[in-house]
Amino acid sequence: MTVPVHDEAEALHRTEILLAAVLRTGVLAAAALVGAGLVLHLAHGGTEPSLYAHFAGSPLRISDIPAVIHGVAHLQGRAVIELGLLVLIATPVVRVALSVGVFVRERDLTYVFVTLIVLGALVFSLLSSAPPKTGAKTAAHGATAAAAQGAPPHPARKTTPNTAH
């Protein structure tokens, strides 16, 4: 049984609308989360001036999803921003995964195969870019971890409390 051409065109149009909606929703949700995180960050004293004389990296926490969720549950602005970035990163991955389903439904095995390769590459790049949980640290990661634990980033750096309000 063949499907009439107008039904195929309508199905393709619905699929395109669905995939566009996934991208639009993901980007808008990410922007809303980042904006809300910024407001929370500023509301909780995130207005201290930055000291640009010495670079002190931030801890790499965005790959620690349970810590991000815990921070969001406690309304920590930085965690909400990180969640927004995670949503932004996940949006195209979700779109590609949905595309696999669309191509399976259409029985287009060539596109299923190609899209699975793309999805595999995306997942591999996301998983392989995560910092190691344990083991040897790089010099940059060690400095970041020291800064996160309250150690001064540079022995010669002297800070003064911010008294201007």
Q: Is 37 in contact with 77 (CB distance < 8 Å)?
A: yes
- Report the pLDDT value the prediction gives residue 29, as an integer from 0 to 100: 96
Over the stretch 10-68, which tens digit does the pLDDT of each residue have?
Answer: 877 888 898 899 999 999 999 999 999 999 988 887 767 767 777 776 665 566 788 88
- Give the number of C-alpha atoms closer than 13 A to the C-alpha of residue 26, restricted to the C-beta side: 17
- Report the pLDDT value the prediction gives residue 107, as an integer from 0 to 100: 87
- Report the pLDDT value the prediction gives residue 61, as an integer from 0 to 100: 59
Q: Please classify residue 38 by burial: count the beta carbons closer than 10 Å to its beta carbon, then call 0-12 exposed, 13-18 middle and 19+ buried.
A: middle
The residue ranges of every structural domain in the chain are 8-46+55-129
Overall average pLDDT of the 130-156 stretch = 50
d(CA 110, CA 1): 22
Over the stretch 57-98, which tens digit does the pLDDT of each residue have?
Answer: 666 556 678 888 888 898 888 899 999 999 999 999 999 999
Over the stretch 75-84, which tens digit does the pLDDT of each residue have?
Answer: 888 899 999 9
- Does the reported pTM lie above 0.85? no
- Strand, coil or helix: 130: coil
pLDDT band at 110 (very low <50, low <70, confident <90, very high): very high
